[in-house]
Structure formats: structure tokens, C-alpha cells
């Protein structure tokens, strides 16, 4: 029931959500998410890390949570009525965990209704929310990634990781556009983009859409312009690796028509593996280039509050459903936030001074 127009009770704003995804497993997205959450919690903010890597949840291990409260599974099954009751405290002050359900057989195969219930619960959290998204281009992973107003894609310099990060972002973009346009245009118009291969320039398909249906084409263009994703280069071992990430951003621009700038590079370091085995985020240890890289990401994300929410909303749609759920406003691009924090990587010509990697550390 809507509130009366003369009500003086302010509407509760949804939580600020940052999603962390990746095209494939093993690129370190869960480690980045855990250390980012710990860094933000140490600033005094109340932070909730949500482990939505369904079927492979391990954030409780990375954070050293010995007694895990039933989290995602409890919310989906209804045994936890309120999302706050499903949170696990962590050893990091101000940081709470909504644990995943990797130990439950079939946990990754949630139903559409379970997904809607879970996403509604997440929107009720009173905290800064970091979502660790599962790998791959399945609808669950893409929808969880699109939940974030601010979106980070973690990849490594390896060719397989680069390929899969492109596929992941392409899938997320087309999923978002499909959610907005599926009720307004013939599916045949979007079909060429949905089935296009990696070599296809999706921007050309969008251009034809704009010619056929100018109003909807403009709407698609606005969605692309405000896609809001940033790239995190992980496990970088030498300055020349940086050029690979710049090539990815150019490919995103030329083939998808979206800007996905490099926010930071995180050097490869054995300390990462040690922190995993110790079940303690490395940002809680002595200062290092690793922790400095995560701090730069946190500073860029928190450079200023998000501007007023857009009137555009992202819906999750299902062919058998007629009642979509509004998930999140179209995100505000992060470029100006990172620029204000001074943390965007410099031009490729200065590979020796990229954030998170110096010439000396790469030797």
C-alpha cells in the first residue's frame, strides 16, 4: 500500500550495493571482495559481505568465521524471516557476513521465486553491501552482478580470464538491456545481439536498433552509457601486463559500446595465499602494496555519495512471470569518483607507475 502523499515519514533509501564479479573462477574475485569489505569496515562503516557465489561459497573461510549463521539458504527457505537474523558476525569490527550455501547440494540451482525473495531481502539491509557474485554467465550470476549500483569485474592477465571477463560483461549488458526492452520491442530485434559471437561488434546491432526504433534506441544508449563497471586487474606480475588490461577496455568500447576503465591493478604476491590459509584478510596485516591497492579501490568507490537515483530501474523478468521486481537504479558511472580520488591508472605509456604495481615490485 503506497504511503499517503502528505506523510512526513521519509522513505527508507535502499542500501548502497557494490557487486564484485568475474568471468571465471580462480581470478581472485572473492579475495578482492573480502579484503575490500574489511577495508571499508575499518573506516567505521557498517558493512555486510554477501556470498552469492552459490554452490562455491567460501567467504566464511576467507574471513575466519568459525560459527556460521545460516544465511542465504535460510532466507530462501524462509527459516530466517528477517535478513538481519541471517547475518554472521566476523572477526573484523563492523563487518558482517551473509553466508552462502556452498555445502548444500543443488544450492546453485535456485528457483526464480527464491531469487526474487533473496534480492528483496538484500534491499532491506541497513549497511554498505558488498556482493560476491559467482563466476560464469548464468542468469543468477548476471542478475546478482546487476544488483550493484557500482560494479567491479576482477580478471587476471591470462588469455582465458580476459576472454571470460569480456563474455561476462557482454552477458551482463545484454541481460540489463533485455530487462528494460523485452516488453517493448520484438524479441527479434535483440536476438542478433543475444546470439552474437565474440567477434561480433554488438555496437553495430545497437546502431541498427536505433535506426529502426529511435526512442528505444536512445533508451538503450542511455543504459550503455551508465553501465558503471570497472575493471580490477589482479595477479599482475610485471608492468607489461598492464597493456593487456588497457586492450580489454578498448575492446569493451569498440565491440560493446561501454566504458569499463581500469580502476586498479593488484600485484601478484605469495602473501595472498598465506592470508587464505590463515583465514584472515591480508589488509589486516602489515602495510603492503597489496593492501594499498585495495585501499585505492575503496577510496575511489567512497570518493563521494552516489548522486540522486535515476528514474530508470533494472527489472528481473521471467518468461512465465508478469510481476517483475525492481532491483536497483541504473548505476552512476564511477569514472568521476575514481578521478576525484586520484586513483585511476595513468596512461599506458607509464606502465611503471600504475596503481598497485611499481617497477621495483614487479622485478
pLDDT, tens digit, 9 for 90 and up, residues 206-217: 888 788 778 778
- Whether 293 is covered by a domain: the verdict is yes
Closest CA to 59 of 93, 33, 36: 33
268 CA to centre of own chain:
21
What is the pLDDT averaged over residues 84-102?
A: 90
| pLDDT for the residue numbered 346 | 33
Closest CA to 234 of 29, 21, 23, 25: 29
Residue 173 has pLDDT above 60, yes or no: yes
Grid coordinates standing for 9? 515519514
187 belongs to a structural domain: yes
H or E, element range at 62? helix 59-63
4 assigned to some structural domain: no
Whether 295 is in a domain gets the answer: yes
Looking at the domain assignment, is residue 10 inside a domain?
A: no
Q: Which candidate, 233, 324, 301, places its Cα nearest to that of 27?
A: 233
Return the C-alpha cell found at 15.
Answer: 542500501
What gap in Å lies between CA 242 and CA 348, rounded to an integer?
A: 7
212 CB-near residues (< 8 Å, 6+ apart): 189
- At 340 the pLDDT is 37
Indicate whether 270 belongs to any domain: yes
Q: What are the two backbone dihedrals, phi and then psi, of residue 234, each rounded to the nearest 5 degrees?
A: -115, 160
User: What's the pLDDT tens digit per position in 239-258?
Assistant: 888 889 988 899 899 999 99
- Give me the mean pLDDT over the 134-149 stretch: 88
Domain span holding position 123:
16-362
Q: What is the mean pLDDT of residues 177-198?
A: 65
Q: What is the mean pLDDT of the chain?
A: 77
* Cα–Cα distance for residue pair 193/208, rounded to 1 Å: 11
Please state the rounded mean pLDDT for residues 301-316: 50
Residue 24 is predicted with a pLDDT of 85
Write out 199-215 in H/E/C secondary structure. Answer: CCCHHHHHHHHHHHCHH
> 280 near 64, Cβ under 8 Å?
yes
Among 11-25, 59-73, 294-308, the range scoring the smallest mean pLDDT is: 294-308
N-to-C CA span, the chain: 62
Residue 38 pLDDT level (bands cut at 50, 70, 90):
very high
Looking at residue 353, what is its pLDDT?
Answer: 35
Sorting pLDDT into bands at 50, 70 and 90, what band is 61?
A: very high
CA distance 331 to 343: 20
Task: Flag the least confident range among 143-152, 211-220, 224-233.
Answer: 211-220
pLDDT at 277: 95
The percent of residues above 70 in pLDDT, for the chain, comes to 72
Contacts of 357 (CB under 8 A, 6+ apart): 236, 239, 241, 242, 265, 267, 289
The answer to whether position 7 is within a domain reads: no
Per-residue pLDDT band for 279 (boundaries 50, 70, 90) equals very high
More confident residue, 294 or 80: 294
How many domains is the chain built from?
Answer: 1
CA Rg, the chain, in Å?
A: 20
- DSSP assignment of 148-206 equals -SEEEEEE-SSHHHHHHHHHHHHHHHHHHHHHHHTTTS-HHHHHHHHT--TTS-HHHHH
Out of 35-39, 174-178, 248-252, 271-275, least confident range: 174-178
Q: Is 81 exposed, middle or buried (0-12, 13-18, 19+ CB in 10 A)?
A: exposed
Name every residue whose Cβ is closer than 8 Å to that of residue 274 and which is 6 or more positions away in sequence: 282
Residue appearing with cell numbers 538491456: 177
Is residue 128 situated within a structural domain? yes
Can you give the pLDDT at residue 158?
A: 92
Which range has the worst mean pLDDT, 5-14, 140-149, 292-301?
Answer: 5-14
More confident residue, 8 or 293: 293
pLDDT of residue 293: 94
Span of 41-55, 103-117, 234-248 with lowest mean pLDDT: 103-117
Q: Domain containing 239 — which CATH number?
A: 3.40.50.300
What pLDDT score does 335 carry? 42
Amino acid at each position: 500500500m503506497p504511503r499517503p502523499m502528505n506523510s512526513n515519514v521519509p522513505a527508507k533509501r535502499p542500501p548502497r550495493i557494490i557487486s564484485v564479479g568475474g568471468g571465471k573462477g580462480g581470478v581472485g574475485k572473492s579475495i578482492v571482495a573480502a579484503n575490500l569489505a574489511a577495508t571499508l569496515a575499518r573506516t567505521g562503516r557498517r558493512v555486510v559481505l554477501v556470498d552469492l557465489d552459490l554452490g562455491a561459497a567460501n567467504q566464511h573461510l576467507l574471513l575466519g568465521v568459525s560459527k556460521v549463521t545460516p544465511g542465504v539458504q535460510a532466507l530462501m527457505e524462509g527459516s530466517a524471516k528477517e535478513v538481519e537474523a541471517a547475518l554472521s558476525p566476523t572477526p573484523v569490527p563492523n563487518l558482517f557476513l551473509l553466508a552462502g550455501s556452498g555445502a548444500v547440494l543443488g544450492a546453485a540451482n535456485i528457483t526464480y521465486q527464491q531469487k526474487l525473495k533473496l534480492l528483496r531481502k538484500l534491499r532491506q539491509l541497513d549497511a554498505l553491501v558488498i556482493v560476491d557474485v559467482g563466476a560464469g554467465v548464468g542468469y543468477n550470476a548476471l542478475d546478482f552482478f546487476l544488483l550493484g549500483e557500482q560494479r567491479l569485474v576482477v580478471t587476471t592477465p591470462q588469455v582465458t580470464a580476459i576472454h571470460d571477463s569480456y563474455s561476462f560483461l557482454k552477458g551482463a549488458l545484454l541481460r540489463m538491456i533485455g530487462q528494460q526492452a523485452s516488453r517493448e520491442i520484438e524479441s527479434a530485434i535483440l536476438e542478433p545481439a543475444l546470439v552474437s559471437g565474440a567477434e561480433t561488434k554488438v555496437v553495430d546491432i545497437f546502431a541498427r536498433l536505433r535506426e529502426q526504433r529511435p526512442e528505444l534506441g536512445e533508451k538503450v544508449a542511455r543504459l550503455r552509457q551508465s553501465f558503471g563497471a570497472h575493471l580490477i586487474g589482479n595477479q599482475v606480475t610485471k608492468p607489461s601486463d598492464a597493456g593487456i588490461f588497457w586492450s580489454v577496455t578498448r575492446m569493451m568500447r569498440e565491440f560493446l559500446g561501454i566504458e569499463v576503465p581500469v580502476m586498479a591493478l593488484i600485484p601478484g604476491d605469495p602473501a595472498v595465499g598465506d592470508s587464505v590459509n590463515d583465514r584472515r584478510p591480508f589488509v589486516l596485516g602489515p602495510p603492503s602494496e597489496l593492501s594499498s591497492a585495495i585501499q585505492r579501490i575503496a577510496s575511489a568507490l567512497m570518493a563521494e555519495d552516489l548522486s540522486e537515483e535515476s528514474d530508470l530501474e533494472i527489472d528481473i523478468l521471467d518468461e512465465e512471470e508478469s510481476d517483475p521486481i525492481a532491483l536497483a537504479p541504473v548505476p552512476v558511472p564511477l569514472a568521476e569518483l575514481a578521478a576525484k580520488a586520484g586513483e585511476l591508472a595513468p596512461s599506458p605509456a607509464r606502465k611503471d607507475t600504475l596503481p598497485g604495481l611499481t617497477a621495483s615490485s614487479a622485478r
